[in-house]
């Protein structure tokens, strides 16, 4: 049975999320998730150095086969977009430096892959991941950046040939009928 590890990244300049999935055959399980917290660092270039060092150390520790990274969404604040793009670029550079292939996904695509709806909240994404990966409450991070990163990894897992991904649904009713275990009745 084939195994691989996917690292997911949710870029940020204050807090950057990461999540790692182990894929065995067509089953995913969480290895780790967490954040790189840079809120106490004031120099933006030091933050970028911290991102590179920490992503590199995670790559050395967990040896991912691939990286899935969330693409920056387009906002109104150009300065915020520039900072976020730099943070994403440094994470990508760390992966390239270590020979890790990179796959980029729009936030809408990630939310759609996890919850079935592109406008899902961060809490809905975290809740669905908890069910999909059979995570306990104590496994969940207090930072949604970590679960967003895990969602990027899971999205890539689904895009990379998971048989569930190839199923097409005609309607929400069709989805519910075929996915009773993924639907919450609360």
Catalytic residues, which ones? 10, 70, 145
Q: Which residue in the block uniquely carries the two structure tokens 């949710």? A: 10
Handedness of CA 66, 53, 37, 140 (dihedral sign): positive
The 3 state secondary structure assigned to 69-126 is: EECCCCCCCHHHHHHHHHHHHHHHHHHHHCCCCEEEECHHHHHHHHHCCCCCCHHHHH
Say if CB 1 and CB 41 are below 8 A apart.
no
């Amino acid at each position: 049975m084939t195994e691989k590890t996917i690292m997911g990244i949710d870029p940020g300049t204050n807090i950057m999320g990461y999540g790692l999935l182990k894929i065995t055959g067509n089953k995913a399980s969480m290895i780790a998730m967490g954040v790189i917290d840079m809120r106490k660092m004031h120099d933006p270039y030091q933050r970028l150095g911290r991102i590179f060092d920490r992503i590199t150390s995670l790559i050395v520790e967990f040896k991912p086969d691939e990286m899935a990274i969330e693409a920056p969404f387009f906002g109104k604040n150009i300065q915020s977009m520039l900072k976020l793009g730099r943070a994403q670029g440094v994470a990508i550079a760390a992966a390239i430096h270590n020979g890790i292939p990179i796959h980029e996904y729009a936030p809408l695509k990630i939310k759609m892959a996890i919850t079935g709806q592109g406008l899902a909240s961060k809490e809905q994404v975290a809740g669905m991941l908890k069910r999909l990966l059979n995570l306990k409450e104590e496994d969940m991070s207090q930072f949604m950046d970590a679960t967003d990163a895990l969602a990027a990894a899971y999205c890539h897992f689904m895009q990379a040939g998971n048989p569930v991904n190839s199923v097409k649904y005609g309607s929400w009713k069709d989805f519910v009928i075929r996915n009773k275990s993924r639907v919450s009745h609360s």
